[in-house]
Structure 1
């Protein structure tokens, strides 16, 4: 038996006078499975994506058009909804091959006594989807993404080389995997000590030559013992929303991140002059704690913004906040929705709809807010400069590092930390002492798994 529910919602108006002819019809069967029926709209409607969640359980699906009934249809058995469960959803009407988007947002509460409790969500933003990828193909779509190919260490002395190997970046079961692997498994142990890592010769590319990023010698203890993946979006946004449905990795010294940078030099110059937005960073350790006994591993995620007049400590500023996973869980246990909402007035990062960092633009501008001396490098920008220009999305899995992200003063339980940041051979110490961490790397648990990525320009 179907329980028929007519849902009242509010419209996100993203083009003048666009009003759907009717709201969606939603049906819940006796098993709690959900079906959406949505009337077609004129104007070249070419696709429809439905994002929904109940509590922290997110699901994304594409509706299919029924030409006979002139309706779009989507059904899922992902949920077994019960009375009083609240289903939140967003229906993205995509017109003109994805160049324009209209969004319908709503929530309903299923209740046998009242039939339904509508909970509209008023939103007023103009929007256009510039990137959507649900990784439904067999290979990565290079019209949307490109690889970092470099051993530069990401400015943090990290222990991986980013490369386009299929063992590090692949699609399986409708998910994108970014997985760190051992360099010795690909090239042999002796390669780390006597080999030559020539990225252009191996992969016909090197995207970042800084810090010997294109060419390294094993005889100098400079070949990274880890191979991993880093992807850049070809699309960029200036203000907008980013939504990433992902399951982060676990394993000691693994460092996953979703973040945004301006392409190239940036509007105001090299980092941190043109800003950085970190949607999510984490550490894969299960037992890592700081000097105060606070968890710093995979039970914690952080969101941060960076900016400044130079990269020295007196010229670099950052503002961030953290969020702990519910007691007895880690962020690597399941998929979560990580989001960025970025306007002239604020930058907000959330996980599963809960705030991690909520930052308002200083009304006096960032230069005055930080009390920087000298000429304002952002004077020609807006009040929110440097966060007033195009930023692209980056997805990556780093490992280790010798510049403080994994502090020497922290406690990693019985395994300890296998290197000192101050050591000139920190990277090889990490590998030599792998008996301290290798047992925490288990199969695909070390991979960052992503079900979908969406970038929307406001």
Structure 2
């Protein structure tokens, strides 16, 4: 019987534990709470990632059932074990999926491409349909005003005190103090009233002095130091083309720079020339642009915001303007900082306003239903009086905007109709106060300095175009 040679004892430096033994040893050592000594500089790194208890138990069972173990490591002099990680070299692993492609893989490319093609087709169809429905009307030129001189055959200066029932504080004059031309630019400039007329008992009577208002209150005002009422505390200008330029359907463009000054109210608008359906607002009003002279900090928006709307209704207490008023804010600037063109395009089927380009629309109203329905008016007034449709006999959805309108340019000041809301940004009067004008006047040290730099509206061009097929065009 051959003697069995005793197996030589492996030196610690040459014995290599299996990978599983290293995991178990590392895990048990970690779970025991005994800290591992740090790896000396230059030595190969040991396993430092903690292993869960379940992983440790699984690894231990695997070791106990294993017959063989790889010898890829060695003992450190301290008895601890380490392993050397090996990075898989590029190209050493076969990539069978590169030899035979999945037939479904092509859809990863086809589906996005189909989506792009379909999206472009739909966009093209929408653009085509939009262009197809745009009506490019032909026009006759009615007015092209560059304000080289004052044309009294076209323009009229209004002289009155009433302010169209808005409770405005200005007296409009025909004086060159308030409306004049300076180097090809029309200037409409508010100025202070004569202090003697405001501070002492006085009467302003414009009857016989060219008053253009239709009511006695448009031509008479007084100061009564006893009850606190005063004459209009400021003067300003309002002009119109009623005398020489009106259109029924067409286009109007006004190039202007708006004023900067507290409680100023610039406007570019249109009124019916003959009031075919009755007094305001039965015959309508087209507001191309309205704004406020206050700066951007004002609660309702100052000269950084303009608005457009239509006024229409059976009486002044039932006005449908709220159905289509739209605001447009200037981008990183104000409308007092530069020139802008404020326009309206108006036909028998629609009306819209815009700024600088027809593509930048502000207010758009399509005449797809009668204005009586569009206005959503009640059956009766607040006092129980039945409301009557003033446009019922026309059979036109465009009524009352199917008659001649002319252009109005003005700078109003203040007012008691709510355009400047009570309590916003230090407003110095209350609309309901019987002394609203005096309260405004007494606060002039606050607001008048804000007018000094640019408290006036500038207009350098007005164009009126008549749509062909109407008014002899």
Q: 1:422: Cα distance to partner?
A: 1.4
- Once residues 466 and 324 of structure 2 are traced to their aligned partners in structure 1, the CA distance between those partners, rounded to angstroms, is 24
Instruction: State the match for 1:390 in structure 2.
Output: 404
Residue 360 of structure 2 is aligned to residue 376 of structure 1: no
Alignment coverage as a number of residue pairs: 318
- For each residue in 1:381-427, what CA deviation from the matched residue of structure 2 results, as whole angstroms up to 9, or x when unmatched? 221111111111100110000110000042x2xxx111111110101
**Rg larger in structure:** 2
Residue 427 of structure 2 is aligned to residue 420 of structure 1: no
Of 282, 293, 296 in structure 2, the residue corresponding to residue 284 of structure 1 is 293
Instruction: State the match for 2:363 in structure 1.
Output: 357
| Structure-to-structure mapping, 1:235-274, within 5 angstroms | 235-264=245-274, 266-274=275-283
| Contact persistence 1:192–1:224 (CA under 8 A) | no
- For the residue of structure 1 that corresponds to 2:217, the secondary structure is coil
Instruction: State the match for 1:213 in structure 2.
Output: 218
Instruction: State the match for 1:232 in structure 2.
Output: 240
Residue 406 of structure 2 is aligned to residue 402 of structure 1: no
Say if 1:221 and 1:370 are closer, same or farther in 2 by CA, change over 3 A: closer
| Contact persistence 1:243–1:453 (CA under 8 A) | yes
Say if 1:345 and 1:192 are closer, same or farther in 2 by CA, change over 3 A: farther
- Once residues 195 and 288 of structure 1 are traced to their aligned partners in structure 2, the CA distance between those partners, rounded to angstroms, is 37
Instruction: State the match for 2:311 in structure 1.
Output: 306
| Contact persistence 1:272–1:316 (CA under 8 A) | no
| Contact persistence 2:323–2:375 (CA under 8 A) | no
| Structure-to-structure mapping, 1:154-193, within 5 angstroms | 154-184=164-194, 188-193=195-200
Q: 1:428: Cα distance to partner?
A: 1.1
- Once residues 123 and 310 of structure 1 are traced to their aligned partners in structure 2, the CA distance between those partners, rounded to angstroms, is 34
Q: 1:191: Cα distance to partner?
A: 4.7
| Contact persistence 2:310–2:321 (CA under 8 A) | no
| Contact persistence 1:130–1:456 (CA under 8 A) | yes
Which structure shows the higher strand fraction?
1
Q: 1:259: Cα distance to partner?
A: 0.5
RMSD: 1.9
- For the residue of structure 1 that corresponds to 2:301, the secondary structure is coil
TM-score by length of structure 1 reads: 0.66
Instruction: State the match for 1:455 in structure 2.
Output: 464
Instruction: State the match for 1:14 in structure 2.
Output: none
| Contact persistence 1:131–1:453 (CA under 8 A) | yes
| Contact persistence 1:134–1:174 (CA under 8 A) | yes
| Contact persistence 1:152–1:209 (CA under 8 A) | no
Q: 1:435: Cα distance to partner?
A: 1.7
Q: 1:313: Cα distance to partner?
A: 4.0
Gaps of 5+ in 1: 1-121
| Contact persistence 1:277–1:304 (CA under 8 A) | yes
Once structures 1 and 2 are overlaid, which stretch shifts more, 126-135 or 298-307?
Answer: 126-135
Say if 1:289 and 1:367 are closer, same or farther in 2 by CA, change over 3 A: same
Residue 231 of structure 2 is aligned to residue 223 of structure 1: yes
- Once residues 413 and 434 of structure 2 are traced to their aligned partners in structure 1, the CA distance between those partners, rounded to angstroms, is 17
Which structure shows the higher helix fraction?
2
| Contact persistence 1:307–1:318 (CA under 8 A) | no
- For the residue of structure 2 that corresponds to 1:189, the secondary structure is helix
Q: 1:317: Cα distance to partner?
A: 5.3
Q: 1:148: Cα distance to partner?
A: 1.2
Instruction: State the match for 2:140 in structure 1.
Output: 128
- For the residue of structure 2 that corresponds to 1:429, the secondary structure is helix
TM-score by length of structure 2 reads: 0.64
Q: 1:190: Cα distance to partner?
A: 4.8
- Once residues 287 and 298 of structure 1 are traced to their aligned partners in structure 2, the CA distance between those partners, rounded to angstroms, is 7
| Contact persistence 2:198–2:233 (CA under 8 A) | no
Of 322, 331, 343 in structure 2, the residue corresponding to residue 326 of structure 1 is 331
Q: 1:209: Cα distance to partner?
A: 4.3
Q: 1:194: Cα distance to partner?
A: 2.1
- For each residue in 1:269-315, what CA deviation from the matched residue of structure 2 results, as whole angstroms up to 9, or x when unmatched? 1111111100000000014543xxxx511110001111111111477
- Once residues 141 and 329 of structure 2 are traced to their aligned partners in structure 1, the CA distance between those partners, rounded to angstroms, is 31
Q: 1:438: Cα distance to partner?
A: 1.6
- For each residue in 1:203-251, what CA deviation from the matched residue of structure 2 results, as whole angstroms up to 9, or x when unmatched? x211114362212222262310111100110211110100101101010
Query: Stretches of 4+ moved more than 6 A in 1?
Result: none
| Contact persistence 2:259–2:457 (CA under 8 A) | yes
